[in-house]
Amino acid sequence: MQTRIVIVDDHPITLIGMRALLSTCDDLAVVGEAQCVDGLFEQLDRQPCDLLVTDLMMPDSGQVDGLHLIQRLRRHYPALKIIVVTMLNNPALIASVLRQGVQGLVSKRGLLNDLPRAIRARPGATYLSPSIRHLLDIGEAGCGKPLAQPEQLSPREVEVLRLYGAGLGVGEIAQRLMRTKQTISAQKTSAMRKLGLDTNAALFLYIQEHGLA
């Protein structure tokens, strides 16, 4: 019996690549695909499936936070297996995703080899791309040092992150706080540097993990 799969990514090229890769496997069938969170839930409501392969961050959607997305999926489709494909490279944030109980975490850089292995991982096992496992090993070797805590940020930096996590852009935050866009941008950049985060996707995950939104 074929495993029915829905694939989700906001980049059409990635979707094409995943579909082409999975179509070479006789025991797998791509039964739906989407480029946004709303499209994902439309697919799941319409098309029964066994496995979801999804990116974490999809813009142009009311659901901007990957952790919230997985939690929502868990509530509405508790039996659905989930594999996350990602470019995340922060060990603490990777650990946050793994705590959601996903079946696999696959690096987009190793999609060709790693995605089929993640799909075929034995029941109860969590598949990690070798590059992601290496990142986690490095984190453990560093005595498990976590990301910096919100207390290490200035009150104004925390204020900016809370509004950013609520979905406001830099310009909107500047208007709300009556500061210049340059000041807000500098405070956001300073907070990310202190936290060791280098992408907006990682920042969204951090905000969710620490209850700043």
Start-end of CATH 3.40.50.2300 domains in the chain? 3-141
Cα gap 185→166, rounded to integer Å: 16
Residue holding tokens 């453990």?
140
Kindly report which listed range (116-125, 136-145, 192-201) carries the lowest average pLDDT score: 136-145
Q: Where are the alpha helices (DSSP H) in 99-167?
A: 111-119, 130-141, 155-165
Architecture of the structural domain at 150-195 = Orthogonal Bundle (1.10)
Start-end of CATH 1.10.10.10 domains in the chain? 150-195
Do 6 and 34 touch, CB atoms closer than 8 A?
yes
1-54, pLDDT tens digit by residue?
889 999 999 888 889 999 999 999 899 999 999 998 889 999 999 988 999 999
Q: Which fold has domain 3-141?
A: Rossmann fold (3.40.50)
56-83, pLDDT tens digit by residue?
876 554 444 577 788 889 899 999 999 9
